[in-house]
Structure 1
Amino acid sequence: MRPELAALTEQLLPDPDSSVRPELQLLYRMLLDYPRRGGKGIRSELMLLSAQAYGVQPTTVAWNRALWLAVTLELFQNWVLIHDDIADDSEERRGRPALHRQHGVPLALNAGDALHAYMWDALRRAEVPAAYAEVLSMIHRTAEGQHLDLAWVKGHEWNLRPADYLEMVRLKTAYYTVIAPLRLGALAGGSAPPAAFEAAGTALGAAFQIRDDVLNLIGDERYGKEIGGDLLEGKRTLILLRWLENAPSAQRAVFLEQMRLPRGDKSAGAMRDLLGWLRESGAVNSAQDYADAEAERGLTLLRDALSDAPDPAAAAQIMALMGGLARREA
């Protein structure tokens, strides 16, 4: 994340020393916790590059508005991550214990709610009226995708097709990772976002999420989350759904038995067996191949969508960033 975004976030959120009450000092520290853990800032960077592509120049008043939109995206991601970690009962976030693991679910949930409110304050400071509808749409789509994900886990639903997973990813990942940042950048520049942003962002977002699912199984020095956590949490992924289509009945029975259990009750031995079966089945390679194809399709659509952007140099930077994101090089 750019230093100026970190500075604006610190300016927006309350200073822990601003209260004499230790309880509120704790709340204010919790609000700053996930933002201070860093992260790549891919969504805010994409949004700022999109703003530049549509004519917003650094050091201008319009650039300051774009920076506040970028802070809005960063705060959105952080409060959603707090809630997501609670919903999934995750152990870690960005290499440290998840907020609810440190402070308990009630305090972490409240901190996420408070951070959500500060997100709207950042959006207010941006003073880009058209951005309100875009941010609302982003929240609606993300909530719909998250609901699909959580409802399938709660209902022990495995009678799903790859198309079901891709619909969930479009809503939960693609919209706020690619589509909304691109659209918000254009709006910051006073331009109507190209309609093709949605198709391009859907393909690129799917490629990103599938690669993230793959890395969760096989690991990588750049991967900052718990290896195998998706399997423990019973996440529906393209890898699992394709494996289930042809899994031997004995392996399928072990899988379904384990998936009915809470995370903490799952057998470590059975989890090791399942990881081995998944890796040996070819489902991982199949998912990677699909991600490759979606990445190339999305990049072609995005290149066409940006062909008329006023700043070709910024458009080229967007293509480079999205190429790295979709191929999981960023």
Structure 2
Amino acid sequence: MVPSPQEVKDALHERLLGYLTHPDPAYQALLQEYPSRGGKRLRGLLVVYAGLAHGAPLEASLWAGTALELFQNWVLIHDDIEDGSEERRGRPALHRLYPMPLALNAGDALHGEMWGLLIRGLNEGLFGPEVLAEFHQVVHRTAYGQHLDLLWTLSGRLDLTPEDYLHLVAHKAAYYTAVAPLRLGALLSGKTPPALYEEAGLKLGIAFQIMDDVLNLEGDQAYGKELAGDLYEGKRTLILIRYLQEAPKEDRIRAEALLSLPREAKPEAEVRWLWQNLLVSGAVAWAKEEAKRLAQEGLGALIPYLDTLPGREATSHLQNLLTALVERRA
């Protein structure tokens, strides 16, 4: 019997918090803060159902899914610090609740616990070293993507193209969001992942990130992050790149002047002006169409292959999650 998505989410949540215990209650509270906020557990769900679809045991799939959720949480702590973010999952970012060095150290600790969890799974025979190698690839690719993201903001680069954005997102978000779960599903069952998983998975992961950028401008309270936070942080999103390419010269100069300022120096009125301009410019609608195109291409390539996998019920859940991934229903 394949567990339901809610049952898998509950199991991932229980394992995360159960694993992050410590005799020092204050330290434990730091480690558990982001995991305890819930979230969609999307990447963990994808790993579990990809594993079951390929014929991997439930325990191995849950173990690897928990490890990827640990990855997500420590990366978010570091990302929030590096971006100066205010909110995460509807509450203040960790470095806004605690002194920044403590938050940074908590992120480092979760990173270490991720590897500890994987080593235990390896030692207990749940999976082989190729699973650890895939997690190294996740960290390797995400760190490079984050480097580009930070570099472009810190250096004030505004001459970027949509192709630059796609290169960034393929590393920073798309690989660990969609590619790695699919590849892990195959690896957990002892199979070699097909090249299709990276080719199609990157399209789905990029579409996911584009829609995340859209929600940062159009989202509601359920979004869980600071609305227009990308503008305060100076994120070079596909929407912003398109706007700067198409905007009248006077508006482009005004937007670039705003974006050149550090977060704390950005006037709220100017941020609101740029926010409204992005919404009415056509850049958001164009980005949505790009996300839709990429999602259709990715799913169109993946689904025929997924239909050949042995775990039929799990494959159905996996396909629903991949579809919801870019429709932001997961």
Both structures adopt the same fold (TM-score exceeding 0.5): yes
C-alpha contact 2:149 2:168 (8 A) present in aligned 1:
yes
Distance 1:126 1:107 in 2: 29
SS at structure 2 position matched to 1:30? helix
Q: 2:120 aligned with 1:125, yes or no?
A: yes
1:67 corresponding residue in structure 2: 62
Distance 1:197 1:225 in 2: 29
Offset, 1:114: 0.7
Deviation of the 1:63 alpha carbon? 2.1
Q: CA deviation at 1:308?
A: 2.4
Letter in 2 for 1:125: R
Would the aligned equivalents of 1:207 and 1:326 in 2 still touch at CA under 8 Å?
yes
Is 2:195 the counterpart of 1:200?
no
> Could you say which residue in structure 1 is the equivalent of 2:246?
246
- Contact in 1 for aligned 2:52/2:61 (Cα 8 Å): no
For the residues of structure 2 that align with 1:164 and 1:274, how far apart are their CA atoms? Answer: 22
Instruction: Give the superposition deviation at 1:221.
Output: 4.5
**Deviations 1:102-147 (Å, cap 9, x if unpaired)?**
1121111111101110001111122222101100001000001111
- 1:186-212, CA deviations, whole angstroms, 9 ceiling, x for partnerless residues? 111121112100011111011111111
TM-score normalised according to structure 1 size = 0.93
Aligned to 2:73: 78
In the alignment, structure 1 residue 108 sits paired with structure 2 residue 115: no
Shift of 1:305: 3.0
Q: Runs of 5+ in structure 1 lacking a partner? A: 20-24, 57-61
2:21 aligned with 1:14, yes or no? yes
The aligned runs of 1:1-330 (5 Å cut-off) are 2-15=9-22, 18-19=23-24, 25-56=25-56, 62-127=57-122, 128=127, 129-330=129-330
Letter of the 1:227 partner, please give it: L
Contact kept, 8 Å, 1:207 with 1:327, in 2: the verdict is no
- Contact residue 92 and residue 226 of structure 1 kept, 8 A: yes
Whether contact under 8 Å (2:9, 2:41) holds in the other structure is yes
SS in structure 1 at match of 2:234: coil
Name the Cα RMSD after superposition.
1.2
User: Residues of 2 paired with 1:184 and 1:46: CA distance?
Assistant: 9
Q: Secondary structure at the match of 1:235?
A: coil
1:37-59 C-alpha deviation (Å, 9 max, x unpaired): 11000100000001111113xxx
1:214-242 Cα shifts (integer Å, max 9, x gaps):
11111235311111000110001111111
Residues 275-319 of structure 1, C-alpha deviations (whole Å, 9 max, x = no match): 111111111100011111111111111113313211233222211
Give the aligned residue type for 1:280: V
**Range with bigger deviation, 79-88 or 117-126:** 117-126
Distance 1:6 1:264 in 2: 35
Normalized against structure 2, the TM-score is what?
A: 0.93
Q: Does the aligned pair in 2 maintain the 1:50–1:185 contact within 8 Å?
A: yes
How far apart are the structure 2 equivalents of 1:160 and 1:42? Answer: 30
- The 1-side partners of 2:306 and 2:243 are apart by 37
Q: Which residue of 2 aligns with 1:22?
A: none
Structure 1 CA distance for aligned equivalents of residues 19 and 278 of structure 2? 45
- Number of residue equivalences: 318
Q: Which amino acid letter does the alignment assign opposite residue 301 of structure 2?
A: L
Cα distance between partner residues in 2 of 1:284 and 1:10: 38
Percentage identity across paired residues of the two chains: 49
Contact 2:243 2:281 in 1 (8 A): yes
List runs of 5+ in structure 2 lacking aligned partners: 1-7
SS in 2 for 1:222: helix
Q: Which amino acid aligns with 1:118?
A: E
Shift of 1:259: 1.0
